[in-house]
Amino acid sequence: MSTYKNCQSCGMPLKKDPNHGGTESDGSKSVMYCSYCYQEGAFTQPDWTVGEMQSFCKSKLREMGFPGFLASWMTKSLPRLERWK
Ligand SMILES: [Zn+2]
């Protein structure tokens, strides 16, 4: 099984996740997704497109004080993550 440094849905570094990753339906930790995106074996926002995820992340990053251009740059690689392939 491969492991990932970043959540394969939103791109957040998994070590920054306060819960250290999402959970599978059997209660084990997900190695791919963070606790914001993935809970008990399902995506918390199952209907989102990658575009919706990008705008969500951008507004989150702006809330955290990142300038807009940096937020855009940080979310640019989202379509390459496993969830969106
Ligand atoms: Zn995530």
Cα 25 to ligand 1 centre (Å): 17
pLDDT of 13-27, one tens digit each?
899 899 989 999 999
The mean per-residue pLDDT over the stretch 64-74 comes to 93
pLDDT of 25-55, one tens digit each?
999 999 999 999 999 999 999 999 999 999 9
Cα 68 to ligand 1 centre (Å): 20
Closest CA to 14 of 85, 84, 81: 81
* Predicted local confidence at residue 3, as pLDDT: 83
* Predicted local confidence at residue 47, as pLDDT: 97
* Predicted local confidence at residue 1, as pLDDT: 56
Q: Which residues surround ligand 1, an ion (CB under 5 A)?
A: 7, 9-10, 34, 37
Domain boundary assignment for the chain: 14-84
Taking the model in full, what pTM does it have? 0.86
Cα 51 to ligand 1 centre (Å): 14
H/E stretch holding 57: helix 50-63
Cα 65 to ligand 1 centre (Å): 19
Beta bridge partners of 6: 13
